[in-house]
Structure 1
Amino acid sequence: MHRRLIVPGALAASLLLAVPASAAAPTPGAPGIGDPYYPAYGNGGYDVSHYDLRLTYRPATDELEGTATLLARTTQDLSRFDLDFLLDVSEVRVNGAKASFTASGEHELQITPRTPLAEGTDVTVVVRYGGVPSSKSAYGFTSWHRTPDGGVAANEPEAAWWWFPSNDHPLDKATYDVSVSVPEGTQAISNGTLQSRTTQRGWTRFAWRSNRPQATYLATLAVGRFDVTTGTTDSGIPVVNAYSEDLGDHYGAARASVERTGEVADWLAEYFGPYPFGALGGYVPNTTTGYALETQTRPFYSPRQFANGSNVSVVVHELAHQWYGDSVSVAGWKDIWINEGFARYAQWLWSEHEGEGTAQELADHVYASHPADDAFWTVGPGDPGPENQFHTAVYDRGALALQALRNEIGDEAFFTVLKGWPRRYAYGNATVGDFRAYAEEVSGKPLSAFFDTWLYEPSKPAAPAARAASLARTAKPAPRPESWKKIAATNTVHAHDAHHGR
């Protein structure tokens, strides 16, 4: 955001050389990172490399107190900058010196350091804060779930505001240390590996570490009374699962599903390459929500996912995201197909693995189940718009596009793409356009028209392209694969209170 001096004629070069790089006055960092779907999300002017969160939580009153230390680097000369946050702040320090601060907009913490910050310098920001997360809302919703024995932070595209200050957008990924003190007998679950657990004077402190870059919405905190199980996958990854003690009738089905996490992750590695993180697991708190979320290394599952019995398919979905969505994250929220289309397709592959319907049979069923005038086809998974970010079409039409790609380039190239993509962009960010370019590189075929048809055009693709001409002629749905009911049960995986697209 440096001002650029523009002068006419031959004087331009010499005048520009005469102006020191630091001559431009420091300017405020933008209050949004520039995502058109959510213009106020994230912030400009800096990049966070690490979050250190030291928290104390009281389940009885839902009171959270914390000190967040952010390690960041400036990307411009900064006079001030924003963090995304909702709780009450008592003190902010920047590089050790007290900074002034104020709340701004729906969820912004505006910080003015004592002295401006030069571009390209390392910055340490310490924020002391407290409050009752369940009492806070922004844009008319909350992402903090109060439970009978505690609370849970899990939502997409935003959850961090309710428990730690952040640069809340997937473009700014960081590593994490999360240390939480809770009353003895209560557990605190977060991402990554449990580094230590210590108890004194009636309080237990859990210290969790995520040592790979993690998007802010994928950071999670769950406090309550959990039954915790531990194990190791065949590939040597430690697994930690947690189940609320008061899941009632859902307890058995939840555990029968989530305990297969290690098995599923090893199976997915055959398609997607080595599991990208050093920890694994899942947790099921006693929430009233209906969705699940791919919180990094330790997905969140609502009890409702298991209301009709075990559902390993939803575990497949959330674990597929560890490659597609977590390791490789969206560059912008319009790229959501990179997450959801692939996680849904993983469920189709699992169905094939379980002998409950092939991926092609599932594709035929989706294609035939939606007539040409169905609004389903008006949503383009490649850029669905914020109001349709988690529309069923992003999942089902998104997976259908992948099966069509498989038919277009052949199994060898297709599965090379599936495995190579998470390696190409490991721990980074990518766009739908990047995926198209990669698929073209691997297959040697021009695919621009293909992707336009399957991901962007607001109409039903021609039947031959879907290998469903006979189905189209009879206008009868293909026989419903046995796995369909469990797959369809995850259609609400991210349907959270329809607050998206504000």
Structure 2
Amino acid sequence: MRLRLIASTAVVTAFGLLAIPASAASAGPGAPGIGDPYYPTYGNGGYDVSHYALDLGYQPATDTLTGTTTITATATQGLTSFDLDFALDVSKVTVNGRAARFATSGEQELVITPDRPIAKGGRLSVAVTYSGVPSKVQRYGFTSWMRTPDGGVAANEPESAWWWFPSNDHPADKATYDVNVRVPAGDQAISNGILVSQRTRDGWTGYHWREDKPQATYLATLAVGHFDVTHSRTATGVPVLNAYSPDLDPTTAANARASVERTGEIVDFLSGYFGPYPFASAGGYVPNVTAGFALETQTRVFYSPKFFTKGPDTSVVAHELAHQWYGDSVSLDRWSDIWLNEGFAGYAEWLWAQHEGTGTPQQLAQQVYDAHPADDAFWTVEPGDPGAANQFDDAVYDRGAVAIQALRDTIGDTAFLRLLKSWPTQHRYGNGTIAEFEALAERLSGKDLGDFFTTWLYTKAKPASFPAGPAAR
């Protein structure tokens, strides 16, 4: 995610499962949280999702969403009940084809009780039927569904799925997706991945989008309305689909196109640092919303038009596309690992700036370091563990990016450039922690980096010096 300076925050098969009396004794309820200290109620325990199949209908005129989501999962313990994260009204739930009891708890917990215990290792097919007006549903005082003049958009971090599909809402449980959306003929539906089909019948058009690589729930996106769509390809043949609301201010629209249409070029550039692009498609969309952030929604980046009001901005495009490696293909394991997302996306902006001739990473890092005196609160935020309240603080982005340049200065270009590619290669389509990244950096560089990471990521003070090593450029 990239925040504006003015905004500080931000097919499926049903598997029958025999009840096994011996396992029932050891079965119990799945945990209502996945165990993340920043967000104790986010995600759930007791199962692992492999696929989401969404079958939705949306009426832009009333902002009404209806649908059934079918979740394929595997029980990681014996289960008498389990939770999903969801905020709309549920009318029916089945588990492995049999009706199940359900109830709501807290802000977003949907508690499901199957008619028989589920054995550890058992396959689950959970179908949830629901409806609602997402923009009118608030949880923790906000909604992640944005109304537009002609439809709606689901995009936010760390949560957005609750407003359009039930899920195990945490990046530690990634899955593949099929998203089928029916909208009135003449409207369009944009989502992640590849557009498998588009058919119009009886006044409705159905769109089928598929993301066949594991995707965190907050990276799933949906936009319905009217869009001008463009198609192109990267140098390696990856299809690029971009979409723009036609009712944007003309100057903003022109600036947005001048920026986002360079997606393929920027993907090719970043591939030189991070390795082959990890997904089957790329692109982004600029809807007519008032939000002030961009988000790395997998393969189809969400951009607020506010990034383009004053001129073209390819820096934000580089930032969000870098996330396709650092954040999407390799996702954080806990939200405290956010530096692995935002620090490296911020550093990618500096790599792109060097390519564009507007400053080197060393120069830009030095500017950030010099701009914040020792008594600045900027240095009191620890990028390696900022806390939920500071998860999207400027320090996570900018101090985090300075730390990466300091790492480059410390271990030298050869080891650093190997590290940039090795991390997304070794953890491709999975998750990673800062501790694992540190271990990889030490192995590739042959240096003990414990004191370095403590100073730059886990100390509430300005590091005493910068550049950090003889390899500084």
Does TM, scored on the shorter chain, surpass 0.5? yes
Q: Is the 8 A contact 1:67 1:129 kept in 2?
A: yes
After superposition, the C-alpha distances for 1:120-178 in whole angstroms (9 at most, x for unaligned) are 01110001111100110111111000111000000000000000000000000000000
Letter in 2 for 1:357: G
Please provide the CA RMSD for this pair.
1.1
Match of 1:232 in 2: 233
Take 2:57 and 2:23, find their aligned partners in 1: how far apart are those partners? 42
Q: For 1:323, give the aligned amino acid.
A: W
Compute the TM-score of the two structures, normalised by the length of structure 1: 0.88
How far 1:414 moved relative to its partner?
A: 0.3
Q: Indicate the structure (1 or 2) with the bigger Cα radius of gyration.
A: 1
Q: Aligned equivalents of 1:215 and 1:142: distance in 2?
A: 19
2:369–2:466: 8 Å Cα contact kept in structure 1? no
- Structure 2 letter corresponding to 1:178: V
Aligned counterpart, 2:192: 191
Q: 1:92 to 1:464 in 2, by over 3 A?
A: closer
Q: Which residue of 1 aligns with 2:31?
A: 30
1:441 to 440, 443, 449: 443
State the secondary structure of the residue aligned to 2:462.
coil
* TM-superposition CA deviations, 1:459-496 (whole Å, max 9, x none): 0001255479xxxxxxxxxxxxxxxxxxxxxxxxxxxx
Partner of 2:86: 85
Q: Which residue of 2 aligns with 1:144?
A: 145
What amino acid is the match of 1:79?
A: T
Offset of residue 379 of structure 1: 0.4
Distance 1:160 1:466 in 2: 41
Whether the aligned pair in 1 keeps the contact of 2:406 and 2:466 (CA below 8 Å) is no
Aligned partners of 1:467, 1:223: CA distance in 2, in Å?
50
Aligned-partner Cα distance in 2 for 1:160–1:22: 33
Q: Which residue of 2 aligns with 1:497?
A: none
Instruction: Say yes or no: does 1:382 pair with 2:384.
Output: yes
Unmatched 5+ residue regions in structure 1?
1-19, 469-502
1:22 CA drift (Å): 3.0
Partner of 2:411: 409
Hey, what's the Cα distance between the residues in 2 that align with 1:391 and 1:245?
A: 33
The match for 2:208 is 207
Given the two structures, how large is their TM-score scaled by the length of structure 2? 0.94
Q: What residue number does 1:56 align with? A: 57
Q: Deviations over 1:407-455 (max 9, x none)?
A: 1010010000001110010000000101000000111111010000010
Q: Report the AA paired with residue 352 of structure 1.
A: Q
SS for the counterpart of 2:306 is: helix
Secondary structure, counterpart of 1:239 in structure 2: strand
Instruction: Please name the residue that 1:452 is paired with.
Output: 454
Q: Which amino acid is 1:96 matched to?
A: G
Is the 1:364–1:466 contact (alpha carbons within 8 Å) kept by the matching residues of 2? no
C-alpha distance in structure 1 between counterparts of 2:200 and 2:70, whole Å: 23
- The reply to whether residue 431 of structure 1 matches residue 429 of structure 2 is no
Check whether the contact 1:84–1:168 (CA below 8 A) recurs between aligned residues. Answer: yes
Distance (whole Å) between structure 2 residues aligned to residue 448 and residue 65 of structure 1? 51
Which structure 1 residue ranges, 4+ long, deviate > 4 Å from structure 2?
A: 464-468
2: CA distance, partners of 1:123 / 1:370: 52
Measure, in 2, the Cα distance between the counterparts of 1:435 and 1:260. Answer: 30
Once the two structures are superposed, residues 238-265 of structure 1 have per-residue CA deviations (whole angstroms, 9 ceiling, x without a partner) of 1110000111131100111100000000
Whether the 8 Å contact between 1:175 and 1:212 is mirrored in structure 2 is yes
Corresponding residue for 2:286?
284
Amino acid at match of 2:309: A
Question: What is the CA deviation profile of residues 93-112 of structure 1, one whole-angstrom value per residue up to 9, with x for unaligned ones?
Answer: 00000001011110111100
1:392 corresponds to which residue?
A: 394
SS in 2 for 1:278: coil
Amino acid at match of 1:369: A
Q: Aligned-pair distance for 1:233?
A: 1.0
Residues 65-92 of structure 1: CA distance to partner in whole angstroms, max 9, x if unpaired? Answer: 0110000000011000000001111100
Find the aligned partners of 2:187 and 2:466 in 1 and give their Cα distance.
Answer: 57
Amino acid at match of 1:306: F
Q: Map of 1:85-234 to 2, 5 A cutoff?
A: 85-234=86-235
Q: Which moved more, 1:230-239 or 1:49-58?
A: 230-239
Q: Partner of 2:29: helix, strand, or coil?
A: coil
The answer as to whether partners of 1:320 and 1:343 remain within 8 angstroms in 2 is yes
Q: Following the alignment from structure 2 to structure 1, what is the Cα–Cα distance between the partners of residues 288 and 24?
A: 56
In the alignment, which residue of structure 2 is the partner of 1:14?
Answer: none
Q: Is the 8 A contact 2:318 2:352 kept in 1?
A: yes
CA distance in 2, matches of 1:334, 1:308: 33
- Partner SS, residue 80 of structure 1: strand
Aligned positions of 1:441-480 closer than 5 A: 441-466=443-468
Name the counterpart of 1:360.
362
Give the secondary structure class of the aligned counterpart of 1:463: coil
| 8 A contact 2:24–2:119 mirrored in 1 | no
Q: How many residues get paired?
A: 449
Q: CA deviation at 1:202?
A: 1.1
Identity over aligned pairs, percent: 66
Counterpart amino acid of 1:165? P
Could you say which residue in structure 1 is the equivalent of 2:334?
332
Say which SS state the counterpart of residue 80 (structure 2) adopts.
coil
Q: Is the 1:367–1:466 Cα contact (8 Å) retained in structure 2?
A: no
Report the residue type matching 1:322 in the other structure. Answer: Q
1:21 deviation in Å?
Answer: 7.0
Contact conserved, 1:376 with 1:393, CA < 8 A, in 2? yes
> 2: CA distance between counterparts of 1:122 and 1:206?
28
